[in-house]
């Protein structure tokens, strides 16, 4: 598998018509559908609604929808694996479309951010997130963009926290939070990761 060595994030939609892949992370099945760990997958469904797209099975092991976001050809992807093995199907999907890691956006939960915060990050470490760790391993590169969706710091076990549902108060605010995360993904494709980080992270 090739190692991608690009050190700087790609620029926005004015550069080319290259394809983007937006992946929402989570665990499969109804048991996990509304847990904090599935915040990325829940955000993906907001993007599906915005683009009136429907997921279909793909040989990579992802459910996908081909669409356009900010005028760019884009693939919305939901790995069907468990979170800890997210990199295997996403690696296969990127190879199928011949998309470099730099054009991958990963939507994921983040316990190091308070509930309601959204941050954009390009490259860097995984902060112990098993889904991100799997993706880095299978792509042989950390050079992709992350939309970090704050789910709050756990009071005890991080595993119990992310596999539990949102509180009643959080559920009232959740639709707005997921909309903001979907907005962030759109801005990354429209502006490029660097400008999106400057605009979104500064505003937050």
Strand order of the sheet with strand 72-79?
56-57, 62-69, 72-79, 20-24, 104-110, 145-150, 118-122
Please tell me the distance from the alpha carbon of residue 158 to that of residue 73, in angstroms, as a whole number: 36
Domain assignment of residue 1, yes or no: no
pLDDT at 196: 95
**pTM (2 decimals)?**
0.90
Nearest C-alpha neighbor of 146 from the set 118, 173, 174:
118
Domain total of the chain: 1
pLDDT at 204: 59
Domain assignment of residue 7, yes or no: no
pLDDT at 127: 85
Domain assignment of residue 96, yes or no: yes
Domain assignment of residue 69, yes or no: yes
Question: Which segments in the chain show pLDDT lower than 70?
Answer: 1-17, 204
pLDDT at 186: 97
| Residues whose CB falls within 8 Å of the CB of residue 188, separated by 6 or more in sequence, listed in order | 105, 120, 145, 147, 196
Range of the domain at 70: 20-203
The catalytic site residues sit at 37
pLDDT at 61: 97
Question: Helix, strand, coil: what percent of the chain each, to 5?
Answer: 40, 20, 35
Domain assignment of residue 6, yes or no: no
pLDDT at 4: 39
CATH number at residue 86: 3.40.50.1470
pLDDT at 5: 43
Domain assignment of residue 9, yes or no: no
Q: Which residues are bridge partners to 118 per DSSP?
A: 149
Taking the CA atoms of residue 66, residue 144, residue 17 and residue 67 in that order, the dihedral angle to the nearest 10 degrees is: 10
Domain assignment of residue 26, yes or no: yes
Domain assignment of residue 3, yes or no: no
pLDDT at 148: 97
């Amino acid at each position: 598998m090739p190692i991608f060595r690009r050190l700087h994030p790609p620029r926005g939609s004015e550069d080319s018509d290259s394809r983007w892949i937006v992946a929402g992370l989570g665990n499969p099945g109804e048991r996990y559908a509304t847990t904090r760990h599935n915040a990325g997958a829940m955000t993906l469904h907001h993007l599906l609604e915005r683009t009136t797209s429907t997921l279909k099975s793909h040989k990579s092991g992802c459910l996908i929808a081909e669409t356009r976001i900010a005028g760019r050809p884009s693939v919305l992807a939901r790995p069907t694996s468990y979170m800890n093995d997210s990199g295997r199907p996403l690696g296969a999907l990127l190879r199928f479309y011949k998309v470099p890691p730099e054009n991958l956006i990963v939507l994921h939960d983040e316990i190091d951010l308070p509930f309601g915060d959204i941050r954009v990050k390009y490259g860097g470490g995984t902060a112990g997130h098993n889904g991100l760790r799997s993706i880095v391993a299978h792509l042989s590169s950390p050079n992709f963009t992350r939309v970090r969706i704050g789910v709050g710091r756990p009071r005890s076990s991080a595993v119990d926290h992310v596999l539990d549902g949102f509180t009643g108060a959080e559920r009232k605010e959740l639709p707005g939070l997921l909309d903001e995360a979907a907005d962030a993904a759109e801005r990354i494709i429209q502006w490029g990761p660097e400008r999106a980080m400057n605009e979104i992270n500064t505003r937050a």
